[in-house]
Structure 1
Amino acid sequence: MAVEADHSAEFAAVHELLRQRAVAVGLLEPATEDEKTVGAAIEALIEKEVTTPKPTEAECRRYYEQNLAEFESGDLVHARHILFQVTPQVNVPQVRARAEQALNELLVEPDRFAALAADLSNCPSGAQGGNLGQVGRGDMVPEFEKALFKFGASGILRELVRTRYGLHIVAVDQRIPGRKLPFDAVQERIAARLRSQVEEKALRQYVSVLAGQAEIDGVHIEASASPLVQ
């Protein structure tokens, strides 16, 4: 595609600008063609000439306060299930009848869940009593997740849950509500993100200044004569 070709040409032009600058400041021999050596010289050039201040604690804290939803741990549940698989070859009414019978038995005798999971479940988890372990939002197919995180649902759900895989008897054993992660726990992550953003902007400005001082045919790079370009 033409757009992809344009991006490729621009990347090559930027690479050449940086290579030329590395030669000009004595970090690279002019005749060097080895790409690994050229790449190392360009990295050294960027480290030497592109200033990227470290984000302050105040800046990190401001980002944290403005993006609180990003730093919340999700709701979790501990769950078990028994799967009655539905495929084109099975008799669906018969499978549903067996699943409903098992559900009714478990509502009376919930302690039999592991035994029935081992005997009836078409999921490998049946060997572990149907245990799915700790499950978060997005870990399961939407229809199953909806049942797991239904407000107030706990214990053995009184209705079968239907998914693309079949019919499930579901037990929700424990709920762990999401919580806000403290600033101290995410400060380093925020600092790394902000630093990456600053580095990207500083590099664009640096390349823009180089482009303003050079002539490259066949490709357009935003150029500036000032390092203060925004």
Structure 2
Amino acid sequence: MTAPLFPDLVINGETVPQAIIAQEAQNHDAPKDKPGLAWRKAANAIATRTLLLQEARRRGIAADPVEVGPGRFETEEEALIRGLLEQAIDIPDPDEETLRWEWARNPERFRSAPLWEVSHILIACDPRQPVATEVARQRAETLTTEALGNPRGFGRLAEAESDCGSKSSGGTLGQLGPGDTVPEFEAALRTLSEGEITAKPVLSRHGWHIIRMDAAAPTHVLPYETVRPKIAEAWEKAAWSRAAKAFLDQLVDKAEIVGATLKSDTKYARA
């Protein structure tokens, strides 16, 4: 009789069908020549879930699935696990001393986002078309030279040459912050000083940009009172993760597990 390719997964006497592990294995990366690695990862994930479900049922947990996204609800098993963790894990609110210490140990982590007032001239093209992109680049470089030679005429140049709707206002884009533009454009903004024009055109998916930094508001360290809610939220998440790990470790220590290896660094993420 041929031995199975992968061992059975048995948690406290409960055998998990291999079809369930095979389905879970599709969610785990592994080299194509090492299918056993994905299987082991899947077996560990299923073992963790099974332990939690067994404990939820032992405690008689009852939890109805809740909506976790637009039109998306928990499964019954996810609801049981959530109910178990809500009952088993109790995180006290952090005290003021703890939160102030967290802020004071490195206030530089809590800075305001930069604000930029920006104008630009766009020479539109599709970067996926090399010939058109090169033609646009040559035009953009010519306009860059003209803009650098007459910075005060930037607005008039934008009105005459830009392919962006902002040309009607002299290329002004108004006030921008991180995430408001495409990455290439934002990267250029972070290198410019107030009043400076990009020395070379900047390519994005929209085409070539000639950018002028009209004004820049520097970042500054935010006061404790402003960032307190953010610090408290981060502290609570970290504390919850530690408590969830400790709870799962207790279940692992008491369990009889065959076919999976749940190490002490096993973690369970908060939904």
**Given residue 88 of structure 2, which amino acid in structure 1 is its aligned partner?**
E
Counterpart position of 2:25: none
* 1:133 counterpart SS class: strand
More helix by share: 1
Given that residues 77 and 174 in structure 1 are in contact (C-alpha distance below 8 angstroms), is that contact kept between their aligned partners in structure 2? yes
Unaligned runs of 5+ in 2: 1-29, 31-35, 63-73, 265-271
Q: Which amino acid aligns with 1:52?
A: I
1:88 aligns with 2:131: yes
Q: How does 1:32-111 map to 2 (within 5 A)?
A: 36-84=75-123, 88-89=131-132, 90=135, 96-97=141-142, 99-101=144-146, 104=149, 106-107=150-151, 110=153
Q: TM-score, normalised by structure 2?
A: 0.64
1:150 corresponds to which residue?
192
- Quick one: which of 231, 238, 241 aligns to 1:190? 231
| TM superposition shift of 1:127 | 3.8
- C-alpha offsets along residues 118-172 of structure 1, whole Å, 9 cap, x if unaligned? 3211334324421122234675555874466434x42x64x7432234462x433
Structure 2: how far apart are the matches of 1:171 and 1:116? 12
Q: 1:17 to 1:135 in 2, by over 3 A?
A: same
Kept after mapping to 2: 8 A contact 1:78/1:174: yes
CA distance in 1, matches of 2:49, 2:183: 45
Root mean square deviation of aligned Cα: 3.2
Once the two structures are TM-superposed, the CA of residue 186 in structure 1 deviates from its matched residue by 1.2
Q: Quick one: structure 1 residues 196 and 120, their matched pair in 2 at CA, closer, same or farther if it must change by over 3 Å?
A: same
**Match of 1:123?**
164
Residues 52 and 4 of structure 1: is their aligned pair in 2 closer, same or farther, counting only changes over 3 Å? farther
Equivalent position of 1:10 in the other structure: 44
Whether contact under 8 Å (1:160, 1:167) holds in the other structure is no
Cα 1:160–1:22 shift into 2, 3 Å: closer
Deviations for 1:44-95, whole angstroms, at most 9, x for unmatched residues? Answer: 2211122322222222222212232221113322011223458634286666
